[in-house]
Amino acid sequence: MRKMRSLICLTAICLLSCFVLPFYEIRALAYVTLEAEIPVSCLNITDDKAHTYKIKIESENNYSPAPKSDTLEVTEDGTGKFEIEISEPGTFVYRVYEQPGDDPEIEYDSSEYDVTVFVEDVSSDVLRYAVSATAAGTDEKPDKIEFRHKVLGDGGTPEPPAPVVSSEPPKEADSTGNPITGFINSIIIGNSISAHIFRSVFIISLLSVISIFLFKREKNEEEDKNEE
């Protein structure tokens, strides 16, 4: 009879342990869920219009908890944040980038960031996290996850640089490097008003000299004939 009672008690203890031990094990592994935040900024651009940008986030591994939303709409010169509920320790990696918009006058930022969320157990059921970001494909760690934009000209093309206007007249090249020769060349082949005037005066003077010479020559010939 005593053996029977002992056997019944042992069986009851075994059955209770099957229910009680898993309960304590589950209780020991259960953490208070925390909400990790990944802040994102969009910088202001010199434009009179109001702009809104779409920032995307993707999990880089299968076990990373999914964010509450994979898309943020951030206004110009504004800040948004991705929110992720995490209930266990681990290292979770995400990719953050901007989804290009359809405004042809805006050059959207093509930067991508690799964001790592480190989660650790600091007590029996409390978690703590830290966020680290690097420029995708590099070891560069920026201070913030931010996106810059540029304003384009009409038609979606960059604005051309303004032409440089010089107040000085163009200089004519002198192949000889001699200032006297350069002056003579500018008079002979130049297109300036002063060059035209100089050439006209020179031609008139030359014709006058030739006319005077011919007139004196004819006069001298007539005087010689009269003397004969």
Q: pLDDT tens for residues 45-75?
A: 766 777 889 999 999 988 899 999 999 998 8
Q: What does the pLDDT read at residue 151? A: 82
| Phi, psi (rounded to 5 degrees) for 94 | -135, 160
Burial class (CB in 10 A: 0-12, 13-18, 19+), 47: middle
* Cβ(127)–Cβ(121) below 8 Å: yes
Q: What does the pLDDT read at residue 47? A: 67
3-class secondary-structure state, position 14: helix
pTM: 0.55
d(CA 115, CA 94): 5
Residues of the chain with pLDDT under 50: 7, 9-10, 13-17, 19-28, 155-159, 166, 170-175
Spans of all domains in the chain:
30-156, 179-227
Q: What does the pLDDT read at residue 157? A: 47
Q: What does the pLDDT read at residue 192? A: 59
48 secondary structure, DSSP code: S
Report the CATH fold assignment for 30-156. Immunoglobulin-like (2.60.40)
Instruction: State pLDDT tens for residues 150-161.
Output: 887 654 444 455
Amino acid at 125: D
